Structure 1
Amino acid sequence: MRIVQAANFVAPASGGIRTTLRQLAAGYTAAGHEVIQILPGERDSVEELAHARVVRVRAPRLGSTGYRVISQPWRVAALLEAEAPDRLEVHDRATLAGLGRWARRNGVRSLVVSHERLDRLLGAWTPRSLRGMLPTTATADRANTALAAHFDAVVTTTAWAAAEFVRIHAPNLRHIPLGVELDAFHPDRCDRTLRRAFARDQEALLVVASRLSPEKRVDLALDAVAELVRRRVPVRLVIAGDGSARARLERHAAGLPVTFLGFVADRSRLAGLLASADVALAPGPVETFGLAALEALASGTPIVAHHASAVAELVAPGVGLVAAGSGFTFADAVRDLLAAPAPPARRNAARARAEQFTWAATIAGFLACHAGTPHATATAAGAAAAAGAGAGAAPPPPTPAPPAPPLAA
């Protein structure tokens, strides 16, 4: 079976989509399938990796985001004609959405992964003075109806992300949670020497692992630190990540106990930081899954998540808290977590929650979707669960994906 993965918005060194592509491709290859990835790059090139043949298409940078975006999707279609895939997997619902029509014309089964929630993004991009006046939900519904019509399956990784497709009664919606690298991120990676490089023993160490772009709302974490300092709670915040908003955030953090590490290329160092922290913050309101938060849980570190994002679905009892979108409410949640008794029990609970999300189950789910066999389908009940999670209720753990059926070679 030849599977082509096409994607945009792939960060050069890290990021959720990059991690997802790598894990899926490795799983497909291990199952005996051939994988070709079509990705944006600085120049046209082809690279043979252990898990895939990577075909990079020369693409312009998207402002100061660090992303490159293939602006000529017909070049991808031409590559598909040459590669003649048996299955097509698209990880960009915008620029590359037209590839679904190519797949239909050529009799190729296709799926698209919704890595964003369009209705929430449109709401976030709408100027504050116009919010509630523009038909953002109707606009998202029209775009999502067209997207679902062009592909054999639309895959979402959380009930939160699925809700906008449930609303339009998309018949081909599939729910497949992502996984986490449980060996790489583990409580045993806690490093007291590393911790003392950033915080004194009497100080609580907070961490944010995120791209520094406006929609990630890292400013909320800074506002929470400012509020905790005002309350005389001894804390230190370490921010691992880089991006277009860094200069603005550094100005915002002036005078606060905050350290900007920039992008942490060493995954073992990042794992050590997450395992050594007392609390991880996930302040982004439009996170569709939250791999960084899940990595923190795998490291045994409780999280504080924005109540409006999909990360709230990860917050089962005892592994963290959800908070409204303000520095004051995030500070309240951090204080409550730090005051909670039995930190070892909390760390064990965080790890146990992360262990419910494995890449093996994710890969099995995607292979089942590629094969066209029944799989867990998002329902209105699932969307309601996401809404309940946003209010602080814990959704049930994900149902493990069934074993992947064999695909024709």
Structure 2
Amino acid sequence: MAEHRTPHHAERLTTQQVAELLGVKVETVYAYASRGQLSSERAPGGKGSTFDAREVAALAGRTRRPARQVADEPVTVRTGLTLIEGGRLYYRGVDVVELSRRHGFEAAVGWLWGRGTDPGVTLRAPAALTAVLARAADALPAQTRLPDRLRVSVAVASSADPLRFDLREENVLSIGAGLIAAMVESLPPAGSAVRGDSSLAARLWTRLTPVPPAPGAVACLDRALVLMADHDLAVSTVAARVAASARAHPYAVVSAGLGALDGPLHGAVGSLAYRLLSEVLASGDAVQVVSEYLRTGRSIPGLGIRVYPEGDPRAAALLSSMRQLPDSDRVLHAVEAVVRAAAGPAGAAEQPGLRPSVDLALAAFALAVGMPAEAGEVVVAVARTAGWLAHAVEEYREEPLRMRAHGIYTGPPPEGS
């Protein structure tokens, strides 16, 4: 049996030494590191990792507690996908606004999935799956909401794939590429195909509006998809990672994300912002509309986002792209009027927290090009599927079932106690 000694403060321990000291497997040592409970450095020569002996000693003291307390350790999610820092959003180190300016959605998915932007990911649904989804769509009531159709399409696609339990990265991402396209194909056609453009954005356009796209309009939708592909640990992404932690298959991961997205404080914000702008456009009086919202105790949807105290860069990018679209001025002026009315006498410059969020920008875009209120939610769901699957791939590499919250019982005491 190996003899352990108290680590000196300057020591670095190998992975095997840490495993022996803690009485765990080497894989568990790496799990501790991924949770942030241990910090590692590459060993000299680049082979293996070393760990701070003081951290290991401290962790050894904690792991001597009862097993229930160990299970209650908070989980730190380390991700190499998305960073929000200094008021900017990055995918794998690249500013998302710049990425959306230079690349379309297929290339952005390739970047997010670690495949590079050239040539990007081919997003096409197998013909057999498209046929299955068409039959399922025909069975739904005519008034079924588009986001509900997306949820049904994911469940149906899952039932048609007997290899969905293969969680190897290549299979997960192959499923994802087909599923993103299938979600779009599952929506009923609203208009004719866009000539000369086979991008996912062009195909999604025909599902969201019967209005033929003006020059630059599909590119604007494409940019929105890039901007919405991921957003760190948003609540829907956490839901997706929890499912992946339980080793749920990719379709179930996406279903978990879609379930969280359906909440009124997440995906539905865009629909509420759409209605707000519609009321402003109809009345021509943003002050009166905002006043009524405040009088009835409703928050103003689509204004401010906590992680961007100086303004949402995604909203600024999308609203800027809209300026090239014909007849968009009226909607853009309505957005500005809402911001001014919500800011009140102090002015928006003094209250950056009241600047437009990307939900308001998506609502403005949908209104400007003749899309329905739920269009923004559809854009988010289709785009964010790429992000959820990227997070799933990361989570599949972690220790299973680590994403468990600690509950504190507050009910009646057990009988007989």
Considering only CA atoms, is the larger Rg found in Structure 1 or Structure 2? 2
Identify the structure with the greater helix proportion. Answer: 2
Identify the structure with the greater strand proportion. Answer: 1
Greater relative contact order, per chain length (Cα 8 Å cut-off, separation 6+): 2
Pairwise same-fold verdict (TM > 0.5)? no
Q: TM-score, normalised by structure 1?
A: 0.25
Q: TM-score, normalised by structure 2?
A: 0.25
